[in-house]
Amino acid sequence: MIDINLIRTNKELVKENIKKKFQDQKLPLVDEVEALDKESRALKQEGDNLRQSRNTLSSQIGALMKEKKFEEAEKIKEQVRKNNDRIVEIEKLEEELVQKIRKIMLTIPNIIDDSVPLGKNDEENVEIERFGEAKVPEYEIPHHADILDSICGLDKESAGRTSGNGFYYLMGDAARLESAMISYARDFMIDKGFTYCLPPFMIRGDVVDGVMSFAEMNAMMYKIEGEDLYLIGTSEHSMIGRFKDQIIKEHELPITMTSYSPCFRKEVGSHGIEERGVYRVHQFEKQEMIVICKPEESMQWYNKMWAYTVEVCRNLNIPVRTLECCSGDLADLKVKSCDVEAWSPRQKKFFEVGSCSTLGDAQARRLGIRAKGEKGTYYLHTLNNTVLASPRILIAFLENNLQADGSITIPEVLRPYMGGKEKIEQKK
């Protein structure tokens, strides 16, 4: 949510930003908010004047009563009653306007960074840099479901009976491998100075409203029936929500955290749920990183954060590239975002395994997350980034570490988490 002062002082900037995001249907909202805001401020001024008048009149009543001028005092009392009635009416109208303004402001997109490339959708995202050699071996790389089957690692049939389409069982070495990667990512981030956290896996509606748009919530999140609780789609939601309505002391900044959680997503949309394999599923595991910092430090942290994900992937022998998200592909709360994509030697293309974003002070404004320093109180910036998310990182790992004989090489960084194993042999 942007600062309403931007609309008061530079609404053309806000409109131009909407055009950059190809959301022209939202342009009238800027003028609508401006009109509602003027009405709200006029009512506030009227209310303030009436309160001041009431105080003055109340003093006069006291003086008149001492002088036993009861008739004159009664006339002024009547005026005070009228003022009070109008004040009550104004306060009700003000609250209604505040709610109307907030509802619209939540749909106006955040101001994107000047460096964001213009484009309508993800097809116009821009490749930034590649890390590692994206090669295709001479031998065939099977579908990841077949690789997992060869080590007796995947059971979707049973999961279909227990939970339905979009769920799966990982077993044996495959399950151990996923846990090993999550554990390695956790320790990697701890070594970078991040505080490890295990967050709640459910959050209330007001926190959901603070961390994402309604459209995103409706498409992603599962609601607990009969409760004001939602299953998290990523631990970023509850980690940022932890600081709701808090004023953080400036010397405590930046706050850097890494969190593990299962994640639950409806995956509503045209892409649907994959029948075969585990590329797009309803439940997965993720190690996340979250930073809350001063506004002037957010871009420095943004560049550090995506680089950490690249480093983790390269340590797992996965070639990756970074992709700058264009204006039309940015979610409304984001200032700037890039995807980390892993190389698939089977498909001979890259696919997304993580995303790094800075949201400016948008989430902080929604949730009331501020800092107090020498220059007063101000809203903080929030950032989030995927360290790694499985099963997508598992797919990339299997394809890039599969050998000609069907075995899977375990990189050195994972061996302590795999009981010293150097490779996983085929079982079928």
Contact 14, 1 (CB under 8 A): no
pLDDT reported for residue 110: 95
Determine the Cα–Cα distance for residues 313 and 357; give it in Å rounded to an integer: 18
The helix or strand, by DSSP H or E, that contains position 399, with its residue range, turns out to be: helix 392-401
pLDDT reported for residue 273: 59
Q: What angle do CA 295, 298, 301 make, to 5 degrees?
A: 155
Lookup result for tokens 């990697």: 188
Determine the Cα–Cα distance for residues 64 and 62; give it in Å rounded to an integer: 6
pLDDT reported for residue 268: 60
Give the closest residue to 388 by CA, choosing from 332, 357, 323, 342.
Answer: 342
pLDDT reported for residue 53: 87
Amino acid at 425: E
**Strand 247-249's sheet: what is its strand order?**
247-249, 370-373, 376-379
Q: Which domains are present in the chain?
A: 4-105 (1.10.287.40), 122-424 (3.30.930.10)
Amino acid at 166: G
pLDDT reported for residue 362: 94
Q: Two tokens at 37?
A: 């805001």
pLDDT reported for residue 40: 95
Task: Count the neighbouring beta carbons within 10 Å of the beta carbon of residue 94.
Answer: 17
- pLDDT averaged per 10 residues in sequence order, the chain, 428 residues: 93 97 96 96 93 84 77 82 91 94 94 96 96 96 96 95 94 97 98 98 93 76 93 94 96 97 80 74 96 97 98 98 97 96 97 96 96 92 96 97 97 97 92
Give the closest residue to 286 by CA, choosing from 399, 189, 169, 163.
Answer: 189
pLDDT reported for residue 140: 96
User: What do you get for the CA distance between the two ends of the chain, in Å?
Assistant: 54
Determine the Cα–Cα distance for residues 386 and 257; give it in Å rounded to an integer: 12
pLDDT reported for residue 78: 83
**Burial class of 121 by CB neighbour count within 10 A (0 to 12, 13 to 18, 19+):** exposed
Sequence-ordered alpha helix ranges (H) in 67-125: 70-105
CA 57 to chain CA centroid, Å, is 52
